[in-house]
Amino acid sequence: GAVVSQHPSWVICKSGTSVKIECRSLDFQATTMFWYRQFPKQSLMLMATSNEGSKATYEQGVEKDKFLINHASLTLSTLTVTSAHPEDSSFYICSARDRSWAGTSKGDTQYFGPGTRLTVL
């Protein structure tokens, strides 16, 4: 149980193009999903919190117009990197919390997707 998928697993794109990454909770509903970025040998950096049916909450320093997040349903959130540049190359990981545990401490657990390796040329 608690499986999260991410697509694509890796993508290479040209500078200036936009890339969309999908995050799906496969066997549970997720009112909240998180988007992280991770550089080599560094820890997870939270970019934004995505709530179903409302605007995402971005962390300080993350450009919301550059990293567009849409959480259209209880099982799907998307991250679009707009006008990508080489410095956007990174490992992007999403996670989701199980809606059925909302309000409990077990609801703190985040289940991660396998990540998307983005390379911008």
Partner 1 sequence: EDKVVQSPLSLVVHEGDTVTLNCSYEVTNFRSLLWYKQEKKAPTFLFMLTSSGIEKKSGRLSSILDKKELFSILNITATQTGDSAVYLCAGASYAGNNRKLIWGLGTSLAVNP
Binding-site member from 77, 113, 118, 120 for partner 1 (CB under 8 A):
113
**Distance between CA 1 and CA 101 in Å, rounded?**
13
Stretch that binds partner 1, among 14-22, 66-74, 77-85, 106-114 (CB under 8 A): 106-114
> With binding defined as CB under 8 A, does residue 110 bind partner 1?
yes
Residue located via tokens 């992007």: 92
Measured in whole angstroms, how far is the alpha carbon of residue 117 from the centre of its chain? Answer: 12
Residue 82 three-state SS: coil
Binding site for partner 1 (CB under 8 A): 2, 6, 32, 34, 41-44, 46, 49, 51, 57, 93, 95, 97, 105-115
